Structure 1
């Protein structure tokens, strides 16, 4: 998934991981490589924003047509 998000082929990613050139920290879990979502988001320039439960509730009420929030 990280390869797809970074628009790289899987073989390129494996080569970068082996050479230590992959832009995100990679952890090996069994036979799989794992990239933390926060590291991938940072590499893609996506700001990590904390969402509060109250905001979700207010958004749901607004989407349902209740504009008196």
Structure 2
């Protein structure tokens, strides 16, 4: 499979972030205790969208990142490759 140079991937994919996390992880990232998180869910003011997976809540990573003010920007493959070359001490001279 060939890759076009203008292809891009989300920031979260580049760094191998999971597609969703459990409520405890989301609460910790948001600086909430589990008790406060459940209380906010009951009140309907949890900071990001949730969904039920069986008996537990899960949060999609893009929703959590948005609640944290982190933009899930698109990263071009060329930029990833250039960054890898740079970190390895290789230059384009």
TM-score by length of 1: 0.88
Counterpart residue number, 1:10: 34
Alignment of structure 1 residues 18-57 onto 2, 5 Å: 18-57=42-81
Bigger RCO of structures 1 and 2 (CA < 8 A, at least 6 apart): 2
Unmatched 5+ stretches in structure 2: 1-24
Structure with the higher fraction of residues in helix conformation = 1
Unmatched 5+ stretches in structure 1: none
Structure with the higher fraction of residues in strand conformation = 2
Q: What is the total number of aligned residue pairs between the two structures?
A: 69
